[in-house]
Amino acid sequence: MMFRRATTRVLLLLCAMYFITYVDRVNVSTAASQFGAELHLSHTEIGFVFSAFAYPYLVFQIIGGWVGDRFGPRRTLTVCAVIWAAATVMTGLAGGFVSLIIARLLLGLGEGATFPTATRAMSNWMPADKRGFAQGTTHAASRIGNAVAPPLIVWLMIATSWRGAFIVTGVISFLWAIVWIFYFRDNPREHKSITADECATLSSFSGVKQRVPVPWRALLGRMAPVTAVYFCYGWVLWLFLGWIPQYFLHNYHMELGKSALFASGVFFAGVLGDWLGGSVTDRILRRSGNIRLARNVMVGVCMFLTLLSLAPIMLVSNMSITLA
């Protein structure tokens, strides 16, 4: 049975991580209306709270990738989860603008290394021809986190308070760290539950390698287009993550619960897009054998379709059209 495979369970654990990290990122935009009023924050200060996450996140995306290579995904993701869980709880305990900023900076530090390190884990645990599917599935889980976060946080706020919502989600992050450290192994062949058939489909384990000179000029040349794509992707993504709940709440004068449901609808569309994109790119690769067509052209087409979908929002005020 598929769910009895160690490789599938590891993928599900990574999906859970992507889901939880995005809930912990988006919860602040949903709770902003309440903590902003209680702590007497201006819209500008709330904007700073939103963006504080991004600065250490940017730095530790780079440093965290090196840390994941150096110490392995098992230890790296465990430490990261403990940091971001503590930051989420600290957000719920914040007493003002400064403490909120500190908590968000700590959250960015903890989550910065997660995705590069998770990609390293997937490269060891997923067959080469299924890595697009694995990336699509994990990113779809993050979009589910986006979609679930607004109504979930509103429900937790009603059941407890905005502070309780952060504390509960922080505790869930701690629990994930415990499961990860006990179940995962950096080398799949050292896992007690993996089968010989699963091992046969995997590439040889790429452990910690000896330090070698880095060809920076060639590396930067190859990474520049990827960096540009991620900049454009990140701009649109964080515009949606940070402001979509507030957009529906204030632009269309909705109640908090209703604005959360509308924001969820937007994010659920991303679930399908991520999963479908990962599956389609692997299928193109298997049929054509052309990795450039499967990866690069796919990215270009998707970014162009994103442009076409965003342009009408600036020209219309009808809520149904905007949501579509």
- CA 92 to chain CA centroid, Å, is 21
Residue 285 belongs to domain with CATH number: 1.20.1250.20
- The whole domain housing 175 covers 2-195+219-323
Q: Taking Cα atoms as reference points, which of 17, 135, 27 lies closest to residue 80?
A: 17
Each residue of 251-262: pLDDT tens digit? 656 665 655 666
Residue 209 within a domain: no
pLDDT band at 142 (very low <50, low <70, confident <90, very high): confident
- Average pLDDT of every residue of the chain: 82
Residue 171 within a domain: yes
Say whether pLDDT at 94 is over 60.
Answer: yes
Arithmetic mean of pLDDT, 287-302: 77
pLDDT, residue 170, reads 95
Q: Rounded distance, CA 76 to CA 193, Å? A: 22
Residue 207 within a domain: no
pLDDT, residue 242, reads 63
Say whether pLDDT at 120 is over 80.
Answer: yes
- CA 104 to chain CA centroid, Å, is 15
Tokens of 14: 């990574």
Residue 116 within a domain: yes
Q: Rounded distance, CA 56 to CA 165, Å? A: 24
Say whether pLDDT at 123 is over 70.
Answer: yes
Residue 135, C-beta contacts closer than 8 angstroms, at least 6 positions apart: 119, 122, 278
What percent of the chain is helix, strand and coil (3-state, nearest 5)? 85, 0, 15
pTM of the model: 0.73
Range with the largest mean pLDDT of 55-59, 164-168, 307-311: 164-168
Each residue of 183-208: pLDDT tens digit? 999 999 889 888 888 888 887 776 65
pLDDT, residue 248, reads 62
Residue 106 within a domain: yes
Among 81-95, 103-117, 218-232, the minimum mean pLDDT is found in 218-232
More confident residue, 131 or 88: 88
pLDDT, residue 315, reads 64
Residue 286 within a domain: yes
Among 66-70, 120-124, 168-172, 300-304, the minimum mean pLDDT is found in 300-304
Residue 11 within a domain: yes
Residue 203 within a domain: no
Instruction: Give the Å distances, CA to CA, from 273 to 44, 68, 261, 303.
Output: 32, 28, 19, 12
Instruction: Give the Å distances, CA to CA, from 235 to 218, 241, 293.
Output: 26, 10, 25
Arithmetic mean of pLDDT, 99-122: 92
Count up the domains in the chain and report the number: 1
Q: Rounded distance, CA 17 to CA 116, Å? A: 13
